[in-house]
Amino acid sequence: MPSTHIIPTLDDVAKAAGVSTATVSRCLNTSEKVSERSRLKVMKAVEMLGYTPNFGARAMAAKRTFTIGAIIPTMENAIFARGLQAFQETLYANGYTLLVSSTAYRPDVEAEQIKALIARGADGLLLIGYERDHSIYKYLERRGVPTLIAWAFAQDSALPTIGFDNRASMRALCDKVLDMGHKKIGFISGIIAGNDRASERLQGVKEGMRARGLDPNDMPVCESTYEIENGANAFETIMQGAYTPTVVMCGNDVLAVGAMQRAHEMGLKVPQDVSITGFDDIELARIVSPQLTTVHVPHREMGSRAAEELTRMVEHVSTGVSCQLDSSLRLRGSLRVLD
């Protein structure tokens, strides 16, 4: 391999342009403070040498990176991908760059990623959900890194949140299900440990049952990772139990689609033999047949609002204000009225 590569520095550019490094730096950052003549010379040198500023050095000198970090559970779920896309677009429009990493739903990995992004000089952070070890909040606080929590809303959170009320949303869907005459519900939940969204959703259903005098303890609940195949297995487990529900509510659309698939394979017709509901309203929900009854969440809006607010926080124009978004029911073919 080529023994050494010429990586041009500010100094090289300055020499080539016949000016000082300060002028080059000014030219690249606050170009209005530089004469047109110098600017041209510098730009030519930059072009010629293929110069790119060293980010680490810049961050160290300026204590500012115009970088925002986001840490999400997984890229494989469309809801994060979509919200993040909007987040990134809005950030970009405001002059910021987004750095993303994912945790595979592992709290220890998340803690690590938070430190990694902060070490990289992220000016602000976006996290998903509010449930995490207290030491992390302490760390964030001490470093003074503006942090916003999305995909969840909570009045009393230590950090500002932007999102919707997972419990109330699922409760609303549950109320509807009960309105339609269902009395025996089965529930397929995401893994609850460390995931406030999953846990809130389950609570929402239990709440709804209690309100109608039904005992939540009767309800078969199956925890599963958010994968189609696992949703399918969970569905089978539930349907083969002694307690046969007339409706299986799922923690998200991915699980619900898995349930629908398995129902089909088991020879059960949806919604004639069993109703199924989801949560999130991802594209998938309208692609399966029958279409999936679910809770619609404004992912894109959440993403762009989060970007706006986080930008304000980073620029010290806001200390972080929470924002609750509305979710809404999407009643489709997978849920039917019980005769």
Q: Which residues bind a second copy (CB under 8 A)?
A: 1-2, 4-7, 50, 52-60, 74-76, 78, 81-82, 84-85, 88, 97-102, 115-116, 118-121, 138-139, 142-144, 228, 257, 261, 283-284, 287-289, 316, 319
Min. distance of Cβ 19 from DNA in angstroms? 4
Nearer to a second copy, 143 or 210 (CB): 143
> Can you spell out the DSSP letters for 262-287?
HHHHTT--TTTT-EEE-SB--THHHH
Q: Inter-axis angle of helices 228-240 and 253-265, to 10 degrees?
A: 60
Nearer to DNA, 121 or 163 (CB): 121
DSSP 8: -
Here the tokens at position 118 are 């902060």
Residues that bind DNA (CB under 7 A): 7, 9-11, 18-23, 25-26, 28-30, 33-35, 37-38, 51, 53-54, 57-58, 60-62, 64
209/234 with CB nearer a second copy: 234
Closest CB 29 distance from DNA, rounded Å: 5
In degrees, rounded to 5, the angle at the alpha carbon of residue 157 between the alpha carbons of residues 153 and 160 is 70
| Nearer of residues 123 and 131 to DNA, judged by Cβ | 123
Residue pair 175/205 in contact (Cβ under 8 Å)? The answer is no
Helices (H) and strands (E) in the chain, counts: 13, 12
Distance of closest approach, residue 119 Cβ to DNA, in angstroms = 8
The interface partner of residue 33, options being DNA, a second copy, none and the CB cut-off 5 to 8 Å by kind, is DNA
SS3 94: coil
